[in-house]
Every structure is written in structure tokens, then in C-alpha cells.
Structure 1
Amino acid sequence: MADERLIVALDVSAMDEVKKLVEEIGDTVVYYKVGMELFYAVGAEVITYLKGQGKKIFLDLKLHDIPNTVAKSLRVLTSLGVDMINVHATGGAEMMKKAAAAIQDEAVNRGIEPPKIVAVTILTSTSKEQWKEMGYQVDLDTHVIHLAKLAQRAGLDGVVASPMEAQTIRETCGKDFLIVTPGVRPIGAAINDQSRITTPSIALESGSTHLVVGRPIYTAMNPRHASENILKEMESVHI
């Protein structure tokens, strides 16, 4: 059975690319991330396709707006039947509370399992130098923990955060809090535009519950083989 802790990012913009990748990877992977590029290009078609293939879906749209707009948008997205959705923690406690409540209420109305809702803390592409340039007085690591605690108090299931902060988030928010970590790269893989990254095994050992991996898999000559190698590294971690 595939390890649901590995989420493969479908960072492409056409359905033929999605189908080719999913078919190449086969039953090795069960969980896929649909981000803004793909969702804006093809809409709910990709959700229907992945569900038809028996896959789980993390809909990564990073909602960030006034509380009522986010809540209404999440009602629509919940109706798609995805398994995880995210918002930006910087939207604030009130936005996150309304987001969580809207998802639960819509799921009950439709008689479906509510998707997990997680909050993006600070993007993994943000370096500490860039953080200072934006004028924040508090250091990046401290602010990530503050946002994680804010999300937990607002009733969210977890956060999206760099693997570099996973251990402190786990210690702060407890064992049942989800920590979804992008910025995961197998040894030898290109860093690309990520800044705060680490390997799959270190991320899991630090407390991550889900690893989001994109380019090291979908740009590989053999995406299935690349996925299997990451899964082997994950299996070596005993938590």
C-alpha cells in the first residue's frame, strides 16, 4: 500500500501532463497536490480525474482574504471532495476560525468527510535575508511558531511549514497536529527556488507528517523510480 505521507506536486498546467505523470507513477503514489497553476488552468476537471483514479488530493490554493470571502470559497471547494485544503495563517485568527467552521458545516450538509484544513505559515521559498527585507522585526523562526499556535487555536488541523521548523512546531503543538512540509529534496537534487529545505528522512525525523515533493519527481527521467527512491528513504525512518 502506498505511503500517504508522500504528496506529489502536480506543478503542471495541462490535463495530458497530469495523466501522463499519474500513469507513469502508477500505484506507487496515492496522494497528489493540485496547486494554483493547474487548478486555474483546468479547474475541477483535475479533481474529477484524480478521484476517478482513487487518489487523495491536497488542493493547494493558499486562500487569503477577508473572513467571509474565504469561508464562502471554502464551502465551494469542500463540495469538490478533496482531502486537504489550505489557507494563509497571516489571514488571521478570525479568518481561520471561519474557514474551519465553513468546511465542517458544508461537509455535514453534503454528508461527506470534511477535508483537513492547514495554514501556510511562511513560504519555504522565503530566505531569512528576504524576511528581513520585508521589514519584520521578529525573526522568521519565531514568527512561524506564532502562526502555528494561532492556527491551532483557531481549530485548524495543522500547518504548511518548512521542514526546518517542523521539530519546534511538533514540540509546541503536540503529536496530533499535521505538519505538511514542502521544500523536501532527496540528496543530490537541485534546490531550485527553495531556501529552507532538507531531506525526506530529516523532515520526518523532525516531526513532519506529510512531505510535498514536486520537481525531483516530475522532472525525473523515470518519475516512478524517483518516487520509489523517496519512499525507500521514508521507510528507513522509525518514529
Structure 2
Amino acid sequence: MKTSPIIALDFDSSQKVFDFLSLFEGDMNVKVGMQLYYKEGPAIVHQLKEAGFDVFLDLKLHDIPNTVKSAMEVLAKLGVDLVNVHAAGGKSMMEAALEGLDKGTPAGNRRPSIIGVTQLTSTDEKQMREEQLIDTSLRESVLHYAKLTQASGLDGVVCSVHEASLISEECGVNFLKVTPGIRLPESGKHDQIRIATPEEARRQGSTHIVVGRAITNAADPRAAYETIHSKWKGMDGE
């Protein structure tokens, strides 16, 4: 995917998606999550690709290896640019996901990049310890999942900005670090906990940022996108 911000299209219909995207010009990165995909199905991916967008299909697969392999074989045929799985599914599952992508990618096409979700940005350390029974620090858990994801042959991880630099040190700067929870100071947290600004993401080594409500709920979405884009790219004179 391009390195421009990925806009999370958290809408419940294709009509709302394209009404929103009509505010913008040029090709962009967009994310199709569960709500939109389960409502519109593969058709929304085809429509976005035909319109020139790079698509991150964010379904966070987590199941037995054979099921994930079969699902990825199907998703690869959609022509998406980026997909993901939960790293908690384990090495065998992640390897199977990669195998499915390779098998399903049409001849002559580039395989979609695939990343592993470490810990959701809505998860804090207390919740991780008490509900997941992981008796370590949140940073150590995220780094463990990142190393496991890399050992499985995947291209990178979903993590918060706060772990991006550590993952770069351990897994290399070219290992993808896709970071949601991006906000402008005035945007508010919503249901995210481990949030950051675009400038922080750039400084900490994120390779891609995902931005949803800070753009889609803004009074002027295009202006919000341009502000975030300029801060992410370091073009705001900082």
C-alpha cells in the first residue's frame, strides 16, 4: 500500500462510502472492516479497487489453520492490498494464512501483504492481565507477537504507535507497523486507549497509520485528512 494515511471506512452501506469518498480527489488508502464487509460483501472491495483505491481488508481472521488458509485463498482473489489475522492464532495458523494467500493470488498478480494483530489499541495492561491472563507487560506481549508474526513469514503487524519503535529495533525498519488509534489533539479518544498523533507515529517508526473517526466524523473530512496527511509526512513545518 501507499504510505499515505489509511482511512477507515466504518460505514454501513456502499452508498455512504461513496458519498464520503466523493469529497476527495485522487487515489487513497482505505480500510474495509467487518461492518462494511459483512453488509456489502466482496462487491464493495471490487467497487473500491475499480475506483483506484488501495484496500486494507481488516477482518482479523482467527480460527484453525485450515479454515484460515481456505478463507485467505478466497480473499486473495479479491485483489486487496493488505489483509490481517490475529497473531494469537499461532504460528501454524499464520503460516497457513500465508499459504492460502499465495495459492489464491492470480498468476501475474502480487500477493496481498499480510500482517498480524498483536494487541488491540482498545486493550490496556490491566485488561490483558485480568482477562487474557497474560502475566507480562503489554509491550512485552506485543513484541512477542511481532516476533512470532515475523517468524511465520508475514509482512508486519498491527500495533499501537507506542510499540512501533521497539518492534523496529527487534524486527527491522522494513517490517510493517500499521498503527491505528491515530487522533488529532481535538479529536478525543472514543473507545481507543493507546492513541497517538500523526507526528508521534512518524517519529516512532510507524510505516502506515489508520485513521477513522478523526476524519469521518470531522465537520470537514477533507480538511481533516489533509491536516493528518501533512503532519504524518512532516510537511507542517514542525
**2:101–2:112: 8 Å Cα contact kept in structure 1?**
yes
Q: CA deviation at 1:3?
A: 6.0
Q: Distance in 2 between matches of 1:236 and 1:61?
A: 30
Q: Distance in 2 between matches of 1:67 and 1:3?
A: 30
Equivalent pairs, count:
235
**1:79–1:110: 8 Å Cα contact kept in structure 2?**
no
Gaps of 5+ in 1: none
Q: CA deviation at 1:53?
A: 1.1
Partner of 2:12: 13
Q: Which amino acid aligns with 2:15?
A: D
Partner of 1:106: 104
**1:4–1:30: 8 Å Cα contact kept in structure 2?**
no
Partner of 1:155: 153
**1:163–1:198: 8 Å Cα contact kept in structure 2?**
yes
1:217 maps onto 2:215 in alignment: yes
**Equivalent position SS for 2:30:** strand
Q: Distance in 2 between matches of 1:235 and 1:139?
A: 31
Partner of 2:114: 117
Gaps of 5+ in 2: none
* Per-residue Cα deviation, 1:99-133 (whole angstroms, up to 9, x for no partner): 112212222x5432110000000000001221122
Q: Which amino acid aligns with 1:133?
A: E
* Per-residue Cα deviation, 1:18-52 (whole angstroms, up to 9, x for no partner): 0011111232x610000000000001121111111
Partner of 2:143: 145
**2:76–2:111: 8 Å Cα contact kept in structure 1?**
yes
**2:4–2:28: 8 Å Cα contact kept in structure 1?**
no
The TM-score normalised by the length of structure 2 is 0.95
Q: Which amino acid aligns with 1:4?
A: T
* Per-residue Cα deviation, 1:171-201 (whole angstroms, up to 9, x for no partner): 1100210000001111221100000111111
1:202 maps onto 2:187 in alignment: no
Counterparts of 1:42-81 in structure 2 under 5 Å? 42-81=40-79
1:23 maps onto 2:29 in alignment: no
Choose 78-87 or 29-38, whichever is displaced more.
Answer: 29-38
The TM-score normalised by the length of structure 1 is 0.94
Q: Which amino acid aligns with 1:182?
A: P
Partner of 1:89: 87
Q: Distance in 1 between matches of 2:230 and 2:134?
A: 40
Percent of pairs identical after alignment?
44
Partner of 1:193: 191
Of residues 96, 117, 129, the one that matches 1:132 is: 129
**Equivalent position SS for 1:228:** helix
**1:5–1:209: 8 Å Cα contact kept in structure 2?**
no
Q: Which amino acid aligns with 2:204?
A: S
Q: Distance in 2 between matches of 1:186 and 1:25?
A: 19
